[in-house]
Each structure stands twice: as structure tokens, then as C-alpha cells.
């Protein structure tokens, strides 16, 4: 079974600075997807960024970028120019690319609580 | 693309009662999912649903849970006899296509069992 590990229960960063959230995963598959989701106090799950395992190029979405190291099974999220609105729980998630039923669920890590200090 | 809409936003129920949580999708969505998040814990996959059938379910999704999409409209999660440990946020999610990768989540239903 796949597992996703987020070793940082909580991180704190000054506004406008850069922070990196760690995620490692374990899988025997070669093709899969990785995601970062943001969960603000409203508790809605918001997709931040995704990465296909077959792509060597790291995904980027504005101030959010990832460092995907396939051999090391590492998928960290970097947030540049941190803003107060970035304060939230961040969850790393994994999904297989192929499945018999066509609709596998996501496997989530336990999350990292990101605090932005003004 | 819009997320799905879930109702109710918060439900309180007596232990042992049945509850039905609803997810209102856009008509061309094919794949639906239910996830659960116990307070302070990670989000856990419950079940996926495709073409009006369960595609995959986790070990959490035992006989007290059921899903259906009556008349092709609302996608529902039923918990037959609620327990205190069923108190959690329940999220509905969808992907738009067979090869869709991102799961877009609804705003969640907070279920409180007393």
C-alpha cells in the first residue's frame, strides 16, 4: 500500500519570506500523480499544485513550486513571498495513474500546519 | 471548473440514527468520491463511484456505509447507524474525465454524532 509522510506537523515563516514543506512517499509504481492541497480554517480542500511522475520538470503555479525527486520519493512544496492568506494546513497526496476500476482515491499525508507571522 | 456542492454544511445526529449526506454535481461529472476527515487527522479515502457503481472502497467503508446516485442527480453517502466515532468532516470530490487527475472537493459536511 502507498503511504505519504509529512514529517513537519507545524512550520512558521515570516510574511514575504520563503518556506518549504516536506513530503515523502512510498510506492512500487512508476507512474503516479502527486498533489499539494491547502485546507484553510474553513476546512475546504483546495488544490494548490500537481505533478505527474513521468515529468522531470518541476511543476510551478505562481508563488508555489515543487521539488520532485523521483528516485528519493520526495515531493516538497516551496512557497515564495509568503502571504497571510497562505496560512492553512497543507496536505501532500498521492494517486496512482492507472487502476483497474479507473478511479482510485487519493492517499493523504497527515498535513503540515503553516503559520505566517506578520 | 466549479467544485461540487454539499448539503448540509453541518448535521448533528443522535447515535444510532441514519444520516444521508448529499453532493450536488455538475451533470457531466463522471467520477465521484467520498472522503472523511476526523478532527485533527488526515483526510481518508472512503469510496469512489463511477457510472453508477462503486469503483473502489477502502476498509473504512464497511457495511454501515452506502452510496448511490438516484436518478442521476445527487450523489449521496448514507450511514445507517451512526456511532460517536463517525463524527468527522465528510468531503465529496469529483474528477471531470476518465483521465482526470485532480480531485476537486466540495466544502464538506461536518457530521456530529451525539
Question: Nine-digit cell at A103?
Answer: 478511479
Chosen for mutation from A90, A102, A111, A113 (greatest number of chain B CBs closer than 10 Å) is A102
Query: By percentage, how much of chain B surpasses pLDDT 90?
Result: 56
Residue range B17-34, pLDDT digits in tens: 999 999 987 666 678 899
For B42, nearest residue in chain A (alpha carbons): A110
pLDDT confidence of residue A42: 86
For the cut 70, the answer to whether the pLDDT of residue B63 exceeds it is yes
Give the mean model confidence (pLDDT) for residues B35-52: 90
What does the block give as the cell for A87? 496560512
What does the H/E/C string look like for B35-103? EEECCCCCEEEEEEEECCEEEEECCCCCCCEEEECHHHCCEEEEECCCCHHHCEEEEEEEECCCCCCCC
Cβ of A43 within 8 Å of Cβ of B108? The answer is yes
Asked if A91 and B43 come within 8 Å (Cβ–Cβ), the reply is yes
CB-closest option in B49, B103, B106 to A106: B103
- A25 neighbors A92 (Cβ within 8 angstroms): yes
Query: Are the beta carbons of B44 and A108 separated by less than 8 Å?
Result: yes
Contact status, residue B37 vs residue B105, Cβ threshold 8 Å:
no
Cell digits for A19? 518556506
Q: What is the pLDDT along chain A (118 residues), one digit of tens a residue?
A: 689 999 999 999 999 999 999 999 999 988 899 999 999 988 889 999 999 999 989 999 999 999 999 999 999 999 999 999 999 999 999 988 765 544 578 999 999 999 999 9
- Name the residue in chain B with its Cα closest to that of A110: B42
Please give the C-alpha separations between residue A101 and each of A23, A97, A106, B33, B51, in angstroms, as whole numbers. 27, 11, 14, 13, 11
* Contact yes or no for A105 and B107 at CB 8 A: no
Taking an 8 Å cut-off on Cβ atoms, the answer to whether A106 and B35 are in contact is: yes
CA atoms within 13 A on the CB side of B56: 15
Beta bridge partners of B24: B5
pLDDT surpasses 90 at B71: no
Amino acid at each position: 500500500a502507498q503511504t505519504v509522510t509529512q514529517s513537519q506537523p507545524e512550520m512558521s515563516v515570516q510574511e514575504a519570506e520563503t518556506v518549504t514543506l516536506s513530503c515523502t512517499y512510498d510506492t512500487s509504481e512508476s507512474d503516479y500523480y502527486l498533489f499539494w492541497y491547502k485546507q484553510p480554517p474553513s476546512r475546504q480542500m483546495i488544490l494548490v499544485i500537481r505533478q505527474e511522475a513521468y515529468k522531470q520538470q518541476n511543476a510551478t503555479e505562481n508563488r508555489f513550486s515543487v521539488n520532485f525527486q523521483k528516485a528519493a520519493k520526495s515531493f516538497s512544496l516551496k512557497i515564495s513571498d509568503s502571504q497571510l492568506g497562505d496560512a492553512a494546513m497543507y496536505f501532500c497526496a498521492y494517486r496512482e495513474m492507472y487502476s483497474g476500476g479507473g478511479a482510485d482515491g487519493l492517499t493523504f499525508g497527515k498535513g503540515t500546519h503553516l503559520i505566517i507571522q506578520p | 471548473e466549479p467544485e461540487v456542492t454539499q448539503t448540509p454544511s453541518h448535521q448533528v445526529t443522535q447515535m444510532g440514527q441514519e444520516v444521508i449526506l448529499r453532493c450536488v454535481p455538475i451533470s457531466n461529472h463522471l467520477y465521484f468520491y467520498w472522503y472523511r476527515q476526523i478532527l485533527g487527522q488526515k483526510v481518508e479515502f472512503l469510496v469512489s463511484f463511477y457510472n453508477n457503481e462503486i469503483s473502489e472502497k477502502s476498509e473504512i467503508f464497511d457495511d454501515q456505509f452506502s452510496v448511490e446516485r438516484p436518478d442521476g442527480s445527487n450523489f449521496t453517502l448514507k450511514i445507517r447507524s451512526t456511532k460517536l466515532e463517525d463524527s468527522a468532516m465528510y468531503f465529496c470530490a469529483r474528477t471531470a474525465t476518465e483521465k482526470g487527475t485532480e480531485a476537486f472537493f466540495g466544502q464538506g459536511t461536518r457530521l456530529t454524532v451525539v
